[in-house]
Chains A and B, each alone.
Chain A
Amino acid sequence: SQQGEEDPQALSIQEGENATMNCSYKTSINNLQWYRQNSGRGLVHLILIRSNEREKHSGRLRVTLDTSKKSSSLLITASRAADTASYFCVRTDKLIFGTGTRLQVFP
């Protein structure tokens, strides 16, 4: 399967804590995007990381990419209750989404 696998499947933390989720593929990956999906809504684009980038920041988001390990991670710092959502990675060449990580941030 070319589907990405995300780890953990679910994560519960308190406001102010950091949340880290990982995405891995069985086949080689180039560029990768991360999306957020609030319950009952469509996905929202967060960040694109290209194959020649190892790390990228956007506000409280930090994304890393390790092409040799075929994996990427998303770190959300100082989490807020509004960050409660599912997070997905997707390969931009084949538009194959991962299984998602459900993040719950408690006030």
Chain B
Amino acid sequence: EAGVAQSPRYKIIEKRQSVAFWCNPISGHATLYWYQQILGQGPKLLIQFQNNGVVDDSQLPKDRFSAERLKGVDSTLKIQPAKLEDSAVYLCASSLGQGNQPQHFGDGTRLSIL
């Protein structure tokens, strides 16, 4: 089966600019996750979707981050405006369902803020 697709692979922007990331999950996976992984740390959950509804966005900085899941399939994560501390890898994952289901990760988008 095809894996989780993410684009772009790399992105370099200046602070205060906007950026968007795209994720295409594995076909049939109802649950989709966005994580932020700062260098040397474990992934931090930003938002979790079940189909096109939000399950958990408690750690999403809503003043600058937004995410949507179109028709319960693809998803986009946006940052506007970006800050220096947003430099990280943004990982998308999907799973058949919530709870104990294994998550399948994309290779992420590496974001550098200048």
Tell me if B's interface is mostly helix, strand, loop or mixed.
loop
In the complex, the answer to whether A99 meets B41 with C-beta atoms within 8 Å is: yes
Q: Is A81 an interface residue (CB 8 A)?
A: no
Interface size on A, as a range, is: 20 to 34
> Bound complex: CA of A99 vs CA of B77, how far in Å?
24
A33, A43, A44, A99: which has the most chain B beta carbons within 10 Å? A43
**Contact mask for chain A residues 84-107; partner B; CB cutoff 8 A; 1 contact, 0 none:** 000010101101111110000000
Size bracket, chain B contacts:
20 to 34
Interface hub of B42, B43, B91, B93 (most chain A Cβ within 10 A): B42
Partner of B107, one of A31, A40, A97: A40
B102 in contact (CB, < 8 A): yes
Q: B residues within 8 Å of A by Cβ?
A: 4, 33, 41-45, 48, 56, 91, 93, 99-100, 102-108
**5 A–B contacts, CB within 8 A, in A order:** A4-B42, A35-B103, A42-B108, A93-B99, A100-B42
